Structure 1
Amino acid sequence: MSSAAHLDIDSRGLATLTLNRPDVHNAFDDQLIALLIDLITQARDDPRTRLLLLSSTGKSFSAGADLAWMRRMADASREDNLRDARKLALLMETLNGFPAPTLAKVQGAVMGGGVGLVSCCDIVVASEAAFFALSEVKLGLAPAAISPYVIAKMGVSQARRFFVSGERFSAVRAAAIGLVHEVVLASELDGKVLQLIDTLLANGPQAMRAAKQLVQVANPLEVTPALSEYTAGVIADLRASDEGREGLRAFLEKGTPSWVAGNR
Structure 2
Amino acid sequence: MYDTLEIERKGPVATIWMNRPAVFNAFDETLIGELAAACRELEADAGVRIVVLGGRGRHFSAGADLNWMKRAAQFGAEQNLADARNFAAMLHTLASLRKPTVARVQGAALGGGTGLTAACDMAIAASDASFSTSEVKFGIIPAVISPYVLRAIGPRHALRYFQSGEKIGAERALAIGLVGEVVAPEALDAAIDQLTSALLQGGPLAQNAAKDLIAAVAGRPIDAALGEETAGRIARQRATDEARDGIAAFLDKRPPAWLA
Residue in 1 that maps onto 2:186: 187
Structure 2 spans left out of the alignment, 5+ residues: 221-260
For residues 157 and 220 of structure 1, what CA distance do their matches in structure 2 show?
A: 15
CA contact (8 A) 1:115 1:134 kept: yes
SS in 2 for 1:155: helix
Report how far residue 39 of structure 1 moved. 0.5
Residue in 2 that maps onto 1:174: 173
Residue in 1 that maps onto 2:4: 4
Residue in 1 that maps onto 2:43: 44
Moved more, 202-211 or 43-52: 202-211
Superposed counterparts of 1:102-121, under 5 Å: 102-121=101-120
Amino acid at match of 1:9: R
Report how far residue 202 of structure 1 moved. 2.2
For residues 215 and 46 of structure 2, what CA distance do their matches in structure 1 show?
A: 21
Report how far residue 3 of structure 1 moved. 2.3
Change in CA separation of 1:101 and 1:2 when aligned onto 2, cut-off 3 Å: closer
Does residue 135 of structure 1 match 2:134? Answer: yes
- RCO (CA 8 Å, sep 6+): is it higher in 1 or 2? 1
Using the size of structure 1 for normalisation, the TM-score is 0.80
Change in CA separation of 1:85 and 1:2 when aligned onto 2, cut-off 3 Å: closer
Deviation by residue 1:68-120 (Cα, 9 ceiling, x = unmatched): 11111122212111111000100111111111111111000011111111111
For residues 67 and 93 of structure 2, what CA distance do their matches in structure 1 show?
A: 25
SS in 2 for 1:189: helix
Deviation by residue 1:167-201 (Cα, 9 ceiling, x = unmatched): 11101000100000000111111111111111111
Report how far residue 121 of structure 1 moved. 1.0
CA contact (8 A) 1:6 1:39 kept: no
Residue in 2 that maps onto 1:242: none
CA contact (8 A) 1:112 1:136 kept: yes
Report how far residue 63 of structure 1 moved. 0.4
Superposed counterparts of 1:100-249, under 5 Å: 100-219=99-218
Q: Larger Rg: 1 or 2?
A: 2
Report how far residue 2 of structure 1 moved. 7.4
Using the size of structure 2 for normalisation, the TM-score is 0.81
CA contact (8 A) 1:116 1:146 kept: yes
For residues 31 and 25 of structure 2, what CA distance do their matches in structure 1 show?
A: 9
For residues 220 and 61 of structure 1, what CA distance do their matches in structure 2 show?
A: 31
SS in 2 for 1:55: strand
CA contact (8 A) 2:2 2:34 kept: no
Amino acid at match of 1:129: D
SS in 1 for 2:54: strand
SS in 1 for 2:7: strand
Structure 1 residue runs of 4 or more that deviate by more than 2 Å after TM superposition = 6-10
Does residue 92 of structure 1 match 2:98? Answer: no
Amino acid at match of 2:6: H
SS in 1 for 2:97: coil
Amino acid at match of 1:5: L
SS in 2 for 1:71: helix
Amino acid at match of 1:8: E
Amino acid at match of 1:136: E
For residues 25 and 115 of structure 1, what CA distance do their matches in structure 2 show?
A: 14
Structure 1 spans left out of the alignment, 5+ residues: 222-264
Give the RMSD, CA atoms, in angstroms. Answer: 1.6
Deviation by residue 1:237-263 (Cα, 9 ceiling, x = unmatched): xxxxxxxxxxxxxxxxxxxxxxxxxxx
CA contact (8 A) 1:99 1:213 kept: no
For residues 51 and 78 of structure 2, what CA distance do their matches in structure 1 show?
A: 33
Residue in 2 that maps onto 1:55: 54
